[in-house]
Structure formats: structure tokens, C-alpha cells
């Protein structure tokens, strides 16, 4: 009760002082002692109790030096002279300043000693810093401080909070501050009931998980009306939250699904056209990621200004390099194994082992650092959805690749030939299509797309020789689920697996969700052994 009223009283004085005295203090020696100077003397008695009072006094004073002083105290840089009743702080370079004026100290008193702290005081110091940063000129820091007060619900900052709310101009931060204030009030035993009900309304507006948790854990002493208001707010928030959670899961699922699509689409093409399971597909993805690493490495050493374009450069490079590797594999190994899909599977597995080990020998087994260009880092919020730029661009990129592939298959001569070979190899050959050439190009195309996928995955995953291994089984599942010979099957397969995975995760945890998906696919393939979008008609017969 007392502290609250005291805080209020001080805060009124403060507002006056901030403008009248506070600014003056910085430039001139004060002619009269204000609350800040009064509080400072508390440090000179070398008693923990007095120090505590001094900390809250300083925090509440609103003096522009307050933050500096409290931070100095936290770092053990705050000194006092018991004889002269004066307090000093050192800056990072050990230079001594007078804490009352902020000016460099003229003389160094002989009995200078650091102000001591114990654990209880450290908590007060942290709380005070939390409160003081509420007044920071930097809006991001103010917002962060408001969030941290919302979580800590520390009653001592209430006065500063009021002051900050009054001074705040940005609506977004003002809302955060108001919500923080509401959180503090709700946890105060002695706040007025009307204030508390207002607070519940303010928190209800916030409407996220934190707010829900806050209202769910009201102090037991709260009155019945407050509890009623809180439970009403919880009910309305929960239904809203459920929608947001579903949206969030869908977004994560889309993001995972697009990654799966990117990894699986090349596999689907080679499997669809050639009936070849390429176990080295994951390694093509890995090669693409390493191409990105090399490109960024070269840019860093030669022309750092181009860093933002590194991905744009890496994409065609990765496509052609992995595509060339793919054509090489097809010409040297796979073409001798047509008609023996199981042997192809083993041979490509062998190739994947060799590629992995080659990369491990060349680049070492550890993760390589691949940076994100500036336009891919950061996030923005839509309602309660947090959308990171890299995920968003990957989704966009995936759909661009998908559309490009659709166009390639639909409108180009090569696409026409590929479709013909997929549907009926012998007839296509009889019509004069060079099926061997189509096979090589298809394998190159599939591998090249895997390389592009590697560029995208390097942005969200660790670039290590094992990168491909973590995607290969999932990609197979997508192909098995979606069916071959139709890119739409791969699209639907990848997105539905991604979304199903993310919706199962909250109930079952990430690992169990994955197991559940695998079991579901094993069961699904009972019903449709050739996937969702199977080719129909005579063409499926061998």
C-alpha cells in the first residue's frame, strides 16, 4: 500500500523534475537536493538495507543519470566515499565521474570503495534496470522493457511505467506498456477493483498465450468480480487463440511442406520418367548447399558488397553443377542398370556414400556457415502470426520453381518428350524420341532442382555432409504418397504431409508426429498403392 502510494507521489514530482531539474542536473551542479540526490546518499552508508532504498529511489527519480548509475552498480563500477558522503561511478575505461552531476570527478577521494551487492539487491537492481529502460529513447528497447515487465510483473516499476505511458507517443509501444501496467496491477493485492477490471480488459486485448497464462494465474486473493471478468476474458481469448494456433500451424506446415516439395520434386521427376529411385538425391541437395557456401565464401573474400546477391548467383550455379553431376551419374552408372530398379537403388546408395565422404574429406565433417542476405533475415507479424522472411521467401521460391517446372513440362519440346516417355517408353521411342537422351536430361533436371533445393535449405538448415540424409526419407514419403508422373501429386503430397506433421506435433511431439505420419503412409499405400495421383490406363502396365 505504502510503496504504491509513494510511487504515485514520486512520479508526480518526477514529471516536474524531469523537465525542470533532470535536464539541468546534467549541465550544472544542482543548487538544491532532489529525490535523486537524496537517494544517492543511501549508497554511502555501506548497508544493504540503505542501498536497496537507494536503488528504488534512484529508479523512481526519473533522473537521466539513473540508468547509468544503476548499471554501474550492477557491474560493480559504482563507488562511494563514506567520508565525503559522495558517490561516483567509473565508466568502462575506469574514468571516474561524479554520480550526482555526471561530470568527471575533480579529485579522487582517498576512501573510495565499491558499493557492495548481495543476491537480493541484484534482483532489485535488475528490476530497476527493467523499469529504467522503459524510458529509453530507443523504441525497440522500450518495447522490450515493456514485454519484460509484463512477464516479471514487478510492482516497483509501476511509477516509472505510468510515467512512460504518459510520455509514450508510439501507439504500439503504448499498448504494450498499458498491458504491462495491467499485468502489474492484477498481481497487486491492494489495487482497486475497478482498476483490476480495466486491467483484465487491457490484457484481453493482447489475446496471446502469455495473456492467457497471466489471467489463469491470478492471485487467490482477487475478488469474485475480478475472477469472473478474467474467466470471461479467458473464454473469449481461447476461441480466438485456437484460430490463431490453427493459422500458425498451417503456416509452419506450409513452410515444411514447401521444403519437402523442393526436396522431393526432382525425385518425383526422375522416378516418374525413368522408374529410377535415386538414393543419391539427398546428396544433390547437399551439393547445392555447398555450392551456396562456396559462392558466399568467394563473395566474402573478394567483394562483400555483393553479399545480398549471393543466393541469386548460387541458384543457377547450383542448378548447373548438380545437374552436370546428375548427368554424369546417369551416363556412367544408371543407364547400365535400366530395367533393374532394385539394383539402381543400391548403386545410387553407393554413389550417395561416396559423395558424402568426398564432401566430408574436402570440407570437413562440421557444419559450414552459410549466411542469410539482409532481405531474408528478420520477421514480421500478422496479428499473432510471426512470419520469418526466410521461411516466406522459401515458400515463394518453391512455388516459383514448381510453376517453372509445370511450364517446362507443358510448353517445351523437352517437357513433351519427357511426358511421352513417362507414359509409354516404347511408343515414344517408336515415334523417334531419343529416350536415352531424354533420360539423361531428365536425370540432370531432377538433380539440378535438388541443387536449387540445397540453396534454399542452406538458409534454414545446417550445411553439413549429412544434410541430404535428413531429407531423403521424407522426400520418398512425399513421392510414395503423391504418386509419380504428375507434379500436382507431389505438390499435394508435400503440402499435406507438411501440414499434417505440424498439426500432429502439438499433441504428440515432433518425433511421435513423424512416426505417426510414417504409419499413416504405410496404411495409406494399402488403399492406393500407387499414390494419390497415379497414372491411369494402359501406360502403367509394364
Binding site for another protein (CB under 8 A): 271-275, 277, 333, 336-347, 349-354, 356-358, 360-361, 422, 424-426, 429, 435-436, 473, 476-477, 480, 484-485, 511-512, 514-515, 518-519, 521-523, 525-527, 529-530, 535, 539-542
Kindly tell me which of 242 and 358 has the beta carbon lying closer to another protein: 358
Residue 77 DSSP class: -
List, in sequence order, every beta strand (DSSP E) within 367-525: 379-382, 385-388
Q: Which three cell numbers stand for residue 522?
A: 504405410
**Selection from 30, 35, 33, 42 nearest residue 6 by Cα:** 35
**Distance of closest approach, residue 526 Cβ to another protein, in angstroms:** 4
The smaller minimum CB distance to another protein, of residues 37 and 283, is found at 283
Q: Which is nearer to another protein, 240 or 424 (CB)?
A: 424
Q: For residue 115, what is the DSSP state? A: P
Cβ-contact 92, 79 below 8 angstroms? no
Output 117 or 508, the one with its CB closest to another protein. Answer: 508
CB 274 to another protein: min, Å? 7
CB nearer to another protein: give 353 or 396: 353
- Please, which residue, 133 or 352, has the CB nearer to another protein? 352
In the complex, least distance from residue 427 CB atom to another protein, rounded to whole angstroms: 10
Q: How far is the CB of 280 from another protein (least distance, A)?
A: 10
From 363, 333, 331, select the one nearest 351 (Cα to Cα): 333
Beta carbon of residue 179, minimum distance to another protein (angstroms, whole number): 38
* Phi then psi dihedrals of residue 273, to 5 deg: -80, -45
Show the CA angle centred on residue 457, arms to residues 452 and 462, nearest 5°: 135
Q: What's the CA gap between 270 and 23, in Å, rounded?
A: 73
Nearer to another protein, 165 or 279 (CB): 279
Taking the least distance from each CB to another protein, the nearer of 14 and 450 is 450
**Angle subtended at Cα 199 by Cα 196 and Cα 202, rounded to the nearest 5 degrees:** 160
CB of 520 to another protein, least distance (A): 11
Phi/psi of residue 298, nearest 5 degrees = -65, -40
Query: Quick one: how far is CA 407 from the chain centroid?
Result: 34
Across-strand partners of 88? 79, 98
- Helix (H/G/I), strand (E/B), else coil: 502: helix
Q: Map grid coordinates 521444403 to a residue.
A: 259
Buried b (16+ CB within 10 A) or exposed e, 16-32: ebbeebbeebeeeeeee
Q: Tell me the closest approach of the beta carbon of residue 504 to another protein, in angstroms.
A: 13
Q: CA 393, CA 372: separation in Å to the nearest integer?
A: 11
Q: How far is the CB of 518 from another protein (least distance, A)?
A: 4
Amino acid at each position: 500500500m505504502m510503496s504504491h502510494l509513494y510511487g504515485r507521489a514520486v512520479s508526480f514530482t518526477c514529471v516536474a523534475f524531469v523537465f525542470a531539474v533532470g535536464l539541468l542536473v546534467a549541465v550544472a551542479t544542482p543548487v538544491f537536493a532532489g529525490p535523486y540526490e537524496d537517494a544517492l546518499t543511501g549508497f554511502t552508508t555501506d548497508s544493504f538495507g540503505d542501498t536497496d532504498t537507494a536503488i528504488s529511489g534512484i529508479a523512481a527519480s526519473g533522473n537521466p543519470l539513473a540508468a547509468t548509475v544503476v548499471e554501474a552498480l550492477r557491474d560493480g563500477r559504482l563507488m562511494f566515499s563514506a567520508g565525503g558522503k559522495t558517490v561516483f561511478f567509473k565508466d568502462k575505461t575506469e574514468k571516474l565521474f561524479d554520480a550526482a552531476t555526471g561530470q568527471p570527478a575533480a579529485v579522487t577521494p582517498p576512501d573510495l570503495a565499491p558499493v557492495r551487492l548481495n543476491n537480493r539487491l541484484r534482483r532489485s537492481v535488475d528490476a530497476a534496470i527493467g523499469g529504467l529502460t522503459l524510458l529509453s529513447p530507443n523504441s525497440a528497447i522500450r518495447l522490450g522493457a515493456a514485454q519484460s515487465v509484463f512477464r516479471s510483473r514487478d510492482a516497483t516499476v509501476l511509477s516509472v511505467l505510468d510515467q512512460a505511458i504518459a510520455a509514450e507517443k508510439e501507439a504500439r509501444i503504448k499498448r504494450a506498456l498499458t498491458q504491462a501496467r495491467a499485468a502489474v496491477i492484477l498481481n497487486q493485492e491492494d489495487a482497486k477493483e475497478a482498476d483490476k477490471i480495466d486491467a483484465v480488459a487491457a490484457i484481453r486485448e493482447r489475446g496471446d498465450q502469455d495473456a492467457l497464462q497471466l489471467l489463469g494465474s491470478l492471485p487467490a486473493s482477487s475478488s469474485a468480480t475480478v475472477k469472473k471478468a478474467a474467466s470471461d476474458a479467458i473464454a473469449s481469448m481461447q476461441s480466438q487463440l485456437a484460430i490463431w494456433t490453427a493459422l500458425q500451424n498451417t503456416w509452419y506446415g506450409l513452410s515444411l511442406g514447401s521444403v519437402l516439395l523442393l526436396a522431393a520434386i526432382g525425385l518425383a521427376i526422375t522416378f516418374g520418367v525413368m522408374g529410377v529411385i535415386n538414393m543419391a538425391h539427398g546428396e544433390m541437395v547437399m551439393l547445392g548447399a555447398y555450392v551456396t557456401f562456396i559462392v558466399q565464401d568467394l563473395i566474402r573474400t573478394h567483394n562483400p558488397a555483393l553479399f545480398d546477391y549471393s543466393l541469386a548467383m548460387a541458384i543457377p550455379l547450383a542448378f548447373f553443377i548438380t545437374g552436370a553431376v546428375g548427368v554424369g551419374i546417369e551416363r556412367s552408372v544408371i543407364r547400365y542398370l535400366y530395367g533393374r530398379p532394385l539394383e539402381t537403388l543400391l548403386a545410387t546408395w553407393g554413389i550417395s556414400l561416396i559423395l558424402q565422404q568426398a564432401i566430408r574429406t574436402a570440407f570437413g565433417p562440421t557444419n559450414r556457415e552459410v549466411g542469410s542476405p539482409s532481405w531474408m533475415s528478420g520477421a514480421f507479424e500478422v496479428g499473432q502470426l510471426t512470419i520469418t522472411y526466410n521461411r516466406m521467401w522459401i515458400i515463394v521460391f518453391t512455388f516459383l520453381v514448381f510453376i517453372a517446372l509445370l511450364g517446362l513440362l507443358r510448353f517445351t519440346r523437352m517437357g513433351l518428350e519427357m511426358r511421352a516417355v513417362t507414359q509409354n517408353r516404347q511408343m515414344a521411342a517408336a515415334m523417334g524420341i531419343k529416350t536415352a537422351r531424354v533420360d539423361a536430361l531428365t536425370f540432370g533436371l531432377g538433380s539440378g532442382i535438388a541443387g536449387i533445393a540445397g540453396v534454399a535449405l542452406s538458409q534454414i538448415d545446417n550445411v553439413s555432409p549429412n544434410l541430404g540424409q535428413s531429407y531423403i526419407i521424407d522426400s520418398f514419403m512425399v513421392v510414395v504418397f503423391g504418386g509419380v508422373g504428375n507434379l500436382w501429386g507431389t505438390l499435394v503430397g508435400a503440402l499435406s504431409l507438411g501440414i499434417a506433421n505440424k498439426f500432429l506435433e502439438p499433441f504428440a511431439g515432433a518425433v511421435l508426429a513423424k512416426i505417426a505420419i510414417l504409419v499413416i503412409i504405410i496404411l495409406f499405400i494399402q488403399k492406393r498403392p500407387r499414390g494419390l495421383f497415379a497414372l491411369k490406363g494402359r501406360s502403367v502396365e509394364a
